Amino acid sequence: MKIKHVRTRVYEWRGKVVAPQSHFCTNAVDILYERGDAMGSFRFHGWLVVEIECDDGTVGIGNCALAPHVAKKIVDEYLAPIAIGEDPFDSEYIWQKMYRRTLAWGRKGIGMAAISAVDLAIWDIKGKAVNKPVFKLLGGRTKEKIPCYASKLYNNDDRDAFLAEAQGYLDQGFTAMKMRFGYGPKDGAKGMQKNLEQVRLLRELVGDDVDIMLECYMGWTLEYARRMLPRLAPYEPRWLEEPVIADDVEGYQELKKMNIVPISGGEHEFTVYGFKDLLERRAVDVIQYDTNRVGGITAALKINAMAEAWSVPVIPHAGQMHNYHLTMASTASPLAEFFPVFDVEVGNELFYYIFEGEPQPENGYLQLSDTTPGLGLTLSDAYTDSFHIVE
Ligand SMILES: O=C(O)[C@H](O)[C@H](O)[C@@H](O)CO
Ligand SMILES: [Mg+2]
């Protein structure tokens, strides 16, 4: 079996977009003085789809959402020539070739996201070639079904609307949900009180039998997070996510060492080397790589093994099939993130408009088929009129 052709397309969403409410999510840009759409550069309204065709006609599908046009260029110019002609079952060798040939500039960030997209397509091929779901190639079923948490609840100062969304997840049977803070250091004591009010109201609504997770999306500082942790402790969040930027590993270490609220991170970290550093420095209580960024399934599988050795749970970023297969196949991964299906807003939900095959939860659990080969995704044609597709 040989890789014959690599096709890359960027799906640009042209359909309806729901403008997010003000202060809907803190983020790394918040410390800058200019106003405007701070979360603008964290939107996912374009998505790279990579299709790899083999000489026997098998086609594998991969994807990545970070800077999709740049990732497309990297795949077209650098990675496709490396993969073509190789046996897809030599996935480790192909991964090493892609990594080492682009090491000068691709070891983190968009270079690794592009490698991830190719690697996902290769694993999809391997599953299809042996007529097995990918998780069966990664160690198999470790769970009867996958527990998941509802992940949206962007801050809304209309507290009735915020709580109505949370009530909806309770009504659907979720026993865990993640909210986004709307305020950070720039918003002073008043903003801090709004953050605390938001958590208090959510905890009062859901009670003590539901886990709540708190997302900062890199929008706080170490000083602000130090002040918030003791104030958040009474609400017993399952974790506080990305309180500081990914490069501030010392900040992560210090917050974790305070041992007040578990600290999670990793969706902006890459390869086994990035997670070796986080683990050895005991910087996180929960690892949250995204398989379509971190180095694909080839890298994620190795990180799961490292996390198991360090007893650090892996709860991958994003509710998408490429992450679910890893969670299903690892006892180090107790839970999956689930992005509820909504009108397109930030774009986490765009995946549902491009692909068919994503499982929908029942009472807070997801199920993967034992018989659907590969990753289990096909390209949807239900929304083609709402996409501008760049070949
Ligand atoms: O943890 C997450 O789901 C991410 O940080 C979100 O994708 C991001 O859009 C912020 O909500
Ligand atoms: Mg996050």
User: In this structure, are residues 289 and 257 in contact, taking their beta carbons and an 8 Å threshold?
Assistant: no
How far, CA to CA in Å, does 374 sit from each of 108, 338, 377? 26, 20, 8
Domain boundaries, the chain: 3-131, 137-379
> Which residue spans within the chain are E strands per DSSP?
3-13, 46-54, 59-64, 146-151, 176-180, 211-215, 239-241, 263-265, 286-287, 336-338, 355-356, 365-366, 378-379, 387-390
- Return the minimum-mean-pLDDT range out of 35-39, 46-50, 150-154: 35-39
pLDDT exceeds 80 at position 327: yes
Give the pLDDT band of residue 37 (cuts 50, 70, 90).
Answer: confident
Is any ligand 1 atom within 6 A of the Cβ of residue 39? no
Question: 94: helix, coil or strand?
Answer: helix
The confidence score (pLDDT) of residue 20 equals 86
State the chain's maximal CA–CA distance in angstroms: 63
Is any ligand 1 atom within 6 A of the Cβ of residue 215? yes
- Return the minimum-mean-pLDDT range out of 49-53, 231-235, 341-345: 341-345
Mean pLDDT of the chain: 97
* Mean pLDDT of the region 26-42: 83
The confidence score (pLDDT) of residue 322 equals 98
pLDDT exceeds 90 at position 5: yes
Q: Is 217 left (phi over 0), alpha (psi -120 to 50) or beta?
A: left
The label of the residue with tokens 């095959």 reads 357
User: Quick check: is 317 catalytic?
Assistant: yes
The confidence score (pLDDT) of residue 43 equals 84
Considering the domain 3-131 in this protein, what is its CATH number?
3.30.390.10
Class of domain 137-379: alpha beta
User: In this structure, are residues 65 and 43 in contact, taking their beta carbons and an 8 Å threshold?
Assistant: no
User: In this structure, are residues 109 and 267 in contact, taking their beta carbons and an 8 Å threshold?
Assistant: no
Tell me which residue has its CA closest to atom 5 in ligand 1.
Answer: 217
Ligand 2 centroid to residue 324 C-alpha, Å: 16
Residue 230: CB atoms within 10 A of its CB come to 11
Nearest atom in ligand 1 to the alpha carbon of residue 347 is: 9
The confidence score (pLDDT) of residue 243 equals 98
- What predicted TM-score, i.e. pTM, was given to this entire model? 0.97
Question: 112: helix, coil or strand?
Answer: helix
Strand partners, 369: none
The confidence score (pLDDT) of residue 308 equals 98
Cα separation, 339 vs 220, in Å, equals: 23
Cα separation, 139 vs 132, in Å, equals: 12
Alpha carbon 79 to chain centroid, angstroms: 23
89-98 burial, b at 16+ Cβ within 10 Å, e below that, comes to: eebeebbeeb
Quote the percentage of the chain above a pLDDT of 70.
100
State both tokens at 63: 């994807």
How far, CA to CA in Å, does 376 sit from each of 2, 31, 149, 355? 21, 41, 21, 10
Q: What is the ipTM of this complex?
A: 0.97
Is any ligand 1 atom within 6 A of the Cβ of residue 346? yes
Give the pLDDT band of residue 319 (cuts 50, 70, 90).
Answer: confident
Give the pLDDT band of residue 263 (cuts 50, 70, 90).
Answer: very high
The confidence score (pLDDT) of residue 260 equals 98
Ligand 1 centroid to residue 151 C-alpha, Å: 8
Identity at 72, one-letter amino acid code = K
Q: Interior CA angle at 321 toward 240 and 202, to 5°?
A: 30
Is any ligand 1 atom within 6 A of the Cβ of residue 291? no
Rg of the chain (C-alpha set): 20
Indicate the Cα dihedral angle 301, 2, 86, 7, nearest 10°. -80
Nearest atom in ligand 1 to the alpha carbon of residue 348 is: 7
Question: 91: helix, coil or strand?
Answer: helix
The DSSP result for 203-244, as a single string, is: HHHH-TTSEEEEE-TT-S-HHHHHHHHHHHGGG--SEEE--S
Q: What is the pLDDT of residues 50-95, one digit of tens each?
A: 999 999 999 999 999 999 999 999 999 999 999 999 999 999 999 9
Catalytic residue chosen out of the listed positions 317, 322, 325, 388: 317
* Mean pLDDT of the region 93-115: 98
